[in-house]
Amino acid sequence: MSGDGFSRRQFVTAGGAALVSGLAGCSGGGDGGDGGAATDTMSSADTVKIGVLEDQSGNFALVGDPKYKASMLAIEEINNDGGIDGKQIEPVARDPQSDNQRYQELTREFISEEEVDVLWAGYSSATREAIRPIINRNEQLYFYTTQYEGGVCDKTTFAVGPTARQQLGSVLPYLVEEFGPKIYTIAADYNFGQLSADWVKVLADENDAEVVGEEFIPLSESSFGSVINNIQDAEPDFVMSMLVGANHTSFYEQKASAGLDVPIGTSTAMAQGYEHRRLDPPAMENIYAGVNYMEEVPTESNTGDGGFVDRYYDMYPDADYVNEEAETNYFSTYMYKEAVEQAGTLEQPEVIEALESGISLGTERAPEAPEGETIELDGATHHVDHHMWVLRADGEHNIEEVTNRKIPEQFLSNTVGCDLTQEDEQTQYTPVDYFEEAE
Amino acid sequence: MVNGLNLAFQFLDSFAFVVLAAAGLAIIFGIMGVINLAHGEFILVGAYATTFAVTAAGLPLPVAMVVGSLVTALFGIAVERTIISGFVPNWIGQRTVGRDLIEPLYDRLADSMVATFGLSLVMVQSARILFGNSIETVGTPFGNVAYGEFSYSTYRLVLAGVSILVLVAAYYVFTRTTFGTRVRATMADEQTAKALGVDTERTYMLTFGIGSGLAGLTGALFAPVLSMQPTLGDQFLIEAFVAVVVGGPSVVLGTALSGGVLGAVSATVTNLTDSTTFGRIALLLAAMLALRFLPGGITGFIERVRSRRQEGE
C-alpha cells in the first residue's frame, strides 16, 4: 500500500505544528501592565467590585469550576446579609479556559478597564507566576487560593491555600509512625512536583525517615506499568504521591489493578479532583490525603445541617463536589470582607494593611471557616495558619478522619523570615536555598 | 536493575498503546489522505460510549466495548458524510441553491487538518457541556499476575493480545477480501478504479467508518484504565502521529513495526534508567532519527530495499 500525493514530511510538519499549538498555549508572554494607576482611580464607591478568574473549561475545569461556584456562593451570602460595609458586591467573572495567555489578558483587562477592587485568579502555580508580574506592576490586591508548593512572599498577593509544608507536614509524620520510615516519592515533573518532592526530603529528615526512591513523571504520561514496578522494586513502607492532572489520575486505577497495596500519602489526590467519587472502588483504598479541606471534613459548620456543603448544593444542585480550593475561595472572600470593614475603605493599600493586622475567622465577628475552628491570616507572610486534616479512603471509597490539628505556615515565617509588614517583597523562595536535604 | 519479565510486560504495554493509538489514524491517513486531528476525540467517543453502556445501560463490559466501537464507527460515518465528503451539505445545497456547498477533503492535507481540528474543539467542549468535567469510570477487570516481588495488571496483557488481533484483522481485511482490494485500488488510482466500476464514494465512507471504529475500540479498551475526562484523547495523539510517521506508507505493517520499534525503545530505556521521562525522550528521539534516516518510514525503507534487490536480479 502506498499513499501517493502527499509527502510524509509534510504530514509531520503540519501535524507537529498543530500538536504544539494545541498543547502549549502557555508561553510566558509579556507582563506589560497598563500603568500603575489602578489603586488611585478606584471604582465607583457604591459597590465592591470583585474579579473572579477561575477555569470553567480546558484542562483545569474539573478543579477550577468548584472555585468559581464557591466564590459566587460567598458573594451571594454576603450580599444577602447586607453587603460589605453596606455596599453590595458586584462580581466580575470570566472564563480563562485554563490558558495562561488568556489569564494575562484578562488580568490586565480586569485591572485597567474593570478596575476591580480585589482579584481571585488561577488554579495552577504556572498561572499564578504568569500573572504575578502584572499584579505586581499594578499593585493589585490578589488572592491565590490553591494549595501550592509555598514560598511566595509578595506584598499584594495573599496565598491563602495551604502550602506543601503544611499539607505534607500533616500526612507524612503520621505515615512514618504508622507504617515505617522508607518513603518512595512520585511527583509530576514540573515546578510544583519538584518542590513538593524537596519538601518530602526535608520532612523525611525531620521525622527520621528516608526517601528510598524518587520519580518525576511527565504530565502527558498515562501508563504507569514501569512506575509500579519501580515502587515494587524499592519496597517502601509508603509512597508519597504528588501526581497532578487528568493523565496522572490513571495511576490510581492502574496500581489497584496491578495489586500494589502499599499505603499512599498525597497532597493532590481526592481533595481537589475527587478521585474517590469518580473512580471505581477500590482504586483509592488506603490513600491518605493531607489537606485543609475536603467535602467530607466532619465539622459542624461544614457537614452540619444548613452548613457549607448544604448551602453550596442548594445554590448549585448539579455540582459534583466541593473541593479543597472551593473552601479557600469561600473563606477568603469573608476575610476580605472583614478587612474592608476594618479599614473602612476600598483603597487597596489600606485594605492590605487591614489584612496584615491579622484577620481571624471563627471569632465573634467572623463566621467559622468550614475546615474548622478559628483560622488566622498571618499578616507578615500573607499565608494562613490552617486546620489540617489527614483523611483516608477505605475499600468502598468512604472517607474517614485519621487525625487533625492546626498547622501554621512555617517556611516563610520561621526559615526565610519574610515579613511583609516591614519590607515590601515580590519573591518566591524555594526549599533548596535553605535545606541541605533538598539539594 | 533490569528484570526480564518487567521488561517484557512493559514492552507489551507500550506496544499495545502505540498500536491501538495509531491504528485508526493510520487507516484514515494512509488510505484517504485525511489528517484527522479529531482522532483523540473519536477515541473519546468510544471511551464515553463504553462507559455509559456499562454505568447507564448495565451492559457487561465486553458487550459495552463492542457497542462503544460501533457507536464511534457510526459517528465516523456521519462525520465523513457531512464534513469530509460533504455529501449531506452538498445534497442539501443541490436542492436549495442548486450547487455544491463544499469540496470533499480527500487528499487535501492542510484543509482536512483545519476542519478536523475545529471538529475536535467542538467535540471536547460539547462533551464538557453535555456530560460535565468528568464521568464515573468502570473498574479494571481480571486482577493481576504476580511474579516475585512484582506484579502486573492482567488487563494490560489482554490489551497487548487485542492489539495483535487488530493488526491481523486489518491485514486480512485489506489484503484478502474484495473490499480490501477495492480500497487499495481506490487508494492507488481513484479515477481508474471508478472507471472499472468501484464505487469509490462508498469505499471512502466505509474506510472512514472502519478507521473511526478502530479509534472507538481504542477508547473502549482504555476506558477502564484511564480517567474519564473530555480531554482524554490528547494523551494518544503524540504516540499516534509518531507511529504513523515512523511506520511509513504501508498502513498495517507500518503500524505493527513502528509499534514494535517504539515500544521496544521506550520500554528498554525506561527500564534501564528507571524513569518514564527518559523512556519518553528516547521514543521521540527514535522517531526523529527514523525520520532523518528513513524519510519514507520503516515500510518505505523496506520497499526501497526490495525494489533495489529486484533491479539487481
Of A1, A12, A228, the CB nearest to B184: A1
Q: In what order do the strands lie in the sheet with A47-53?
A: A88-94, A47-53, A118-121, A142-144, A157-159
Q: Which residues of chain A have pLDDT under 70?
A: 1-45, 439
Question: Does the distance separating the beta carbons of B33 and A1 come in below 8 Å?
Answer: no
Question: Does the distance separating the beta carbons of A2 and B250 come in below 8 Å?
Answer: yes
Residue to mutate among B25, B187, B227, with most A CBs inside 10 A, is B227
State the ipTM, two decimals. Answer: 0.79
Residue B66: the pLDDT is: 94
> Is the pTM value of this prediction over 0.95?
no
Question: Does the distance separating the beta carbons of A259 and B144 come in below 8 Å?
Answer: yes
Question: Does the distance separating the beta carbons of A4 and B149 come in below 8 Å?
Answer: no
**pLDDT tens, N- to C-terminus, chain B (313 residues):** 457 888 888 888 888 888 898 888 888 888 777 888 999 999 999 999 999 999 888 889 999 999 999 999 999 999 999 988 888 888 888 888 888 888 888 878 888 889 999 999 999 999 998 998 888 888 888 878 878 778 888 888 889 999 999 999 988 988 899 988 888 888 888 888 888 888 888 888 999 999 999 999 999 999 988 888 898 888 888 888 888 888 887 778 888 888 888 888 988 898 888 888 888 889 889 888 888 888 888 888 888 888 888 876 5
A–B CB contacts, 8 A cutoff, strictly below? 191
Taking the Cβ of residue A214 and every Cβ of chain B, the question of whether any pair is shorter than 8 Å is answered with no
Residue to mutate among B112, B151, B280, with most A CBs inside 10 A, is B151
A356-376 pLDDT, tens per residue?
Answer: 998 888 777 777 888 887 888
CATH number of the structural domain spanning residue B39: 1.10.3470
Question: Does the distance separating the beta carbons of A218 and B188 come in below 8 Å?
Answer: no
- Per the CB < 8 A criterion, the answer to whether A286 and A276 are in contact is no
Residue A191: the pLDDT is: 85
Q: Which residues have CB under 8 Å from B50's CB, separation 6+?
A: B61, B64, B65, B67, B68, B138, B219, B220, B223
Domain count, chain B: 1
Taking the Cβ of residue A408 and every Cβ of chain B, the question of whether any pair is shorter than 8 Å is answered with no
Q: Which residues have CB under 8 Å from A318's CB, separation 6+?
A: none
Residue A10: the pLDDT is: 56
Q: Which residues have CB under 8 Å from B166's CB, separation 6+?
A: B19, B20, B23, B214, B217
Residue A184: the pLDDT is: 96
Nearest residue of chain B to residue A279 (CA atoms): B137
Question: Does the distance separating the beta carbons of A227 and B276 come in below 8 Å?
Answer: yes
Nearest residue of chain A to residue B279 (CA atoms): A226
Of A19, A258, A280, the CB nearest to B237: A19
Question: By residue range, what is the domain housing residue B45?
Answer: 4-312
Question: Does the distance separating the beta carbons of A256 and B9 come in below 8 Å?
Answer: no
**Domain boundaries, given as residue ranges, for chain A:** 165-291
Output phi, psi for A113, to 5 deg. -100, -45
What is the rounded distance in angstroms from the CA atom of residue B224 to the CA atom of residue A302?
33
Q: Which residues have CB under 8 Å from A164's CB, separation 6+?
A: A147, A148, A149, A150, A195, A196, A199, A267
Where are the extended beta strands (E) located within chain B? Answer: 144-147, 150-153
Alpha helices in A258-362 (DSSP H): 275-278, 300-303, 308-315, 324-343, 348-356
The CATH fold of domain A165-291: Rossmann fold (3.40.50)
Sort out which chain B residues have CB atoms less than 8 A from A229's CB and list them: 3, 6, 9-10, 150, 152
**45-84 in B: which are within 8 Å (CB) of A?**
none
**3-62 in A: which are within 8 Å (CB) of B?**
3-6, 8-12, 14-16, 18-19, 22-23, 57, 59, 61-62
